[in-house]
Structure 1
Amino acid sequence: MRYVAKKKDKITKKDPKKELSGWIDYKNRVNNNEKKRVSASLTKLQAERRHALLTRLGFIILFSLCCILALGYYVSPKANVASVQVKGAPELNSKQVVKTVNISPENKIVFCLLKGKEYNKQLSDAFPEIEKVQVGVKNTNHLILTIKERPVIGYIHEGTGYRKILATGKVGSQVIDKNKIDKNKPLFIGYNQKVSLSEDIKVYASLPQHIRDQVKMLSGETRRPTQIVLVMKDNNIVIGNLSTIKSKIQYYDKIKSQLKEPSVIDFEIGAYSRPLTQAEKVKLGLT
Structure 2
Amino acid sequence: MAIFKQRPKKKAKPDQLTPWEKFQQQADENQRAEQKRHFKWSGKRIRIGDKLPKLKTQRRRLATRRAGLLIGLFLLGIVGASYFISPLSHIAQVKVTGTEKLTAAQVQSATQIKTGKSVWAVIGQDKTTSRLARQANPQVGQVKTTLSNWNHVTLKVSEIRLAGYLVTGGNYQRVLENGLIMKQSASQPGGGYPIYASFKSGQRLQTMIAQYAKLPAAVKHNISEIKFDPNKANPERVHLYMNDGNEVYATISTFASKMQYYTGIAAKMKTNGIINLEVGAYSYSFKKSSK
TM-score tier after normalising by the smaller chain length? 0.5 to 0.7
Which residue in the other structure is 1:75 paired with?
Answer: 85
Match of residue 99, structure 2, among 89, 100, 114: 89
Conserved 8 A contact 1:162-1:177: no
Q: How does 1:268-279 map to 2 (within 5 A)?
A: 268=278, 273-276=283-286
Q: Is this contact kept in 2: 1:215–1:232, CA < 8 A?
A: no
Q: How far apart are the structure 2 equivalents of 1:91 and 1:126?
A: 16
Match of 2:45, as an amino acid? Answer: E
TM-score, scaled relative to structure 2: 0.59
State the alpha-carbon separation in 1 of the partners of residues 263 and 98 from structure 2. 37
Quote the residue 2:133 is aligned against: 123
Uncovered stretches (5+) of structure 2, i.e. residues with no partner: 1-38
Distance 2:182 2:73 in 1: 50
Q: Is the 8 A contact 1:265 1:273 kept in 2?
A: yes
Q: Which residue of 2 aligns with 1:60?
A: 70
Alpha-carbon separation, structure 2, partners of 1:91 and 1:221: 25
Instruction: Name 2:225's counterpart in structure 1.
Output: 219
Q: CA RMSD in A?
A: 4.7
CA distance in structure 2 between the partners assigned to 1:81 and 1:98 by the alignment: 13
Q: Equivalents in 2 of 1:56, 1:235: separation in Å? A: 83
Deviations 1:196-249 (A, max 9, x none): 543322233467x69x84882152334337321234576432213324556766
Deviations 1:34-67 (A, max 9, x none): 344x334332232222111111110100100110
Determine the structure 2 residue equivalent to 1:201.
209
Q: Is the 8 A contact 1:215 1:230 kept in 2?
A: no
Q: Is the 8 A contact 1:80 1:106 kept in 2?
A: yes
SS at match of 1:220: strand
1: CA distance, partners of 2:255 / 2:222: 17
Q: Is the 8 A contact 1:264 1:274 kept in 2?
A: yes
Aligned position for 1:113: 123
Q: Flag structure 1 segments of 5+ consecutive residues without an equivalent.
A: 1-29, 182-186, 281-287
**Contact in 1 for aligned 2:174/2:181 (Cα 8 Å):** yes
Aligned pairs for 1:16-55 (under 5 A) are: 34-36=45-47, 38-55=48-65
Alpha-carbon separation, structure 2, partners of 1:82 and 1:246: 45
TM-score, normalised to structure 1's length?
A: 0.60
Q: Secondary structure at the match of 1:145?
A: strand
* Cα distance in structure 1, aligned partners of 2:244 and 2:199: 28
Aligned mate of 1:140, from 142, 146, 150: 150
For 1:188, the equivalent position in structure 2 comes to 194
Cα distance change on mapping 1:203 and 1:149 into 2, 3 Å: closer
Contact 2:226/2:239 (<8 A) preserved: yes
Cα 1:81–1:40 shift into 2, 3 Å: same
SS state at 1:121 partner: helix
Which is worse superposed, 187-196 or 132-141?
A: 187-196
Aligned equivalents of 1:244 and 1:78: distance in 2?
55
> After alignment, is 56-65 or 137-146 more displaced?
137-146
**Residue type at the aligned position of 1:200:** M
